[in-house]
Amino acid sequence: MGMKDQFQDKAEQLADQAKKRSGQGRDRRDEASERSSQTQDSMRERGSQSEDSERRRQEAQDRFDQDYDA
């Protein structure tokens, strides 16, 4: 085995490692993107829940005020 073969083998190994790492990086980005979208979804749900509870509180206050005025 000559020096040329050794360098060629090493180059192939490095190329394979680079391909594996780029695939892992893509997977990590996909996972991070998925987590981010899940967080945004849960925040939207919380926002709608707080709006709903605020609406209910306001309705209860209005009913109380109407009963008190009568």
Over residues 5-58, the pLDDT tens digits come to: 888 999 999 999 988 887 766 666 667 677 777 776 666 666 667 888 889 999
Q: How far, in Å, CA of 22 to CA of 15, rounded?
A: 11
Predicted local confidence at residue 59, as pLDDT: 93
pTM for the whole structure: 0.34
Domain ranges of the chain: 29-70
Backbone angles phi, psi at 2, to 5 degrees: -90, 175
pLDDT band at 68 (very low <50, low <70, confident <90, very high): confident
Predicted local confidence at residue 27, as pLDDT: 62
